[in-house]
Amino acid sequence: MNKVAALLAVIMALCALPLQAAEEVVAGLSQNRISITAQFNGSQILIYGAVKRNAPEPGGAPLKIIVTLEGPSLPVTVRRKVDTSGIWINRDRVDVDSAPTYYAVATSAPIGTIITHTEDLRRRITIPNAIRSVGAPSNVLDSSAFSDALIRLRTHEGLYRMSEGAVDIVEDTLFRANFELPANLVEGNYRVRILLYRDKALVDDEVETIFVRRVGLERWLANTAEQQSEFYGILSLLIAGVAGWAAAAIFRFIRT
């Protein structure tokens, strides 16, 4: 009886151990730190990796990969202008509780062939699902139009991107994806997600972080503006005054 109890205890202990995935993502970044300076005009990130297997590759549906790159999320207020007697004024507004300052998605195939709508909602992969809105006021009947406008504006600015087929997979093992980061990046931590799918089921995923920071004079100015706004305002007025005086002096010298 004791032997049976001991055997059951061993079986239960083995069942409690986490199972190792048959396929695992092993990924790397071309750089995990980006410095924003006065000469910063954007950057390029290469995300690459391989699929590690501890068993023969399963048959059936081919391997598919989604890579997302998400910047810090901040609340946003979206307003709609209306023409009132020839004057455009803000009337309706919707508060977006959280919207990524930068969000890009790259896939190895059309997104609809990789994940289901439910999976997209659960993991907030596509751009519309990455944005969370607060309940709109009762007088706003088309609140989704405000989120659509935000997506349209940030897509035009290069801050939101959806690139289907941009992840290259070699022999169902190696993969790579390139991301173009614009010059108007917001400082903060950028999250990289690599999601591995087969037959619309998640096999494995990995998360990496890219640190984007201002350096030098730009960082000092940003910190001063945020933490010492009164001093920053006075300093800006002084600099503007000195610049105006210097410009006037130069023009007087040129005329004489």
Q: Domain containing 77 — which CATH number?
A: 2.60.40.3880
Q: What's the pLDDT tens digit per position in 106-140?
A: 999 999 999 999 999 999 999 999 887 555 555 55
- Kindly report the pTM of this predicted structure: 0.73
Strand arrangement of the beta sheet that strand 63-70 belongs to: 33-36, 201-214, 188-198, 63-70, 103-107, 160-163
What does the pLDDT read at residue 16?
46
Q: How many domains does the chain have?
A: 2
The answer on 248 and 169 residing in a single domain is no
Distance CA 188, CA 59 (A): 41
The answer on 186 and 234 residing in a single domain is no
According to DSSP H, which parts of the chain are helical?
2-16, 117-123, 143-156, 217-227, 229-255
The answer on 63 and 83 residing in a single domain is yes
What does the pLDDT read at residue 122?
93
Positions in the chain short of pLDDT 50: 1, 3-4, 6-8, 10-11, 13-20
Q: Is residue 5 part of a domain?
A: no
State the residue range of the domain holding 224. Answer: 216-256
The answer on 245 and 140 residing in a single domain is no
The answer on 164 and 104 residing in a single domain is yes
The answer on 32 and 44 residing in a single domain is yes
Distance CA 209, CA 211 (A): 6
Return the sign of the alpha-carbon dihedral for residues 160, 119, 171, 164.
Answer: negative
Q: Is residue 192 part of a domain?
A: yes
What does the pLDDT read at residue 97?
80
Q: Is residue 160 part of a domain?
A: yes
Contact (Cβ atoms closer than 8 angstroms) between residue 206 and residue 27: yes
What does the pLDDT read at residue 230?
66
Q: Is residue 177 part of a domain?
A: yes
Q: What's the pLDDT tens digit per position in 66-101?
A: 999 999 998 888 877 766 666 666 667 777 788 899
Q: Is residue 120 part of a domain?
A: yes
The answer on 183 and 254 residing in a single domain is no
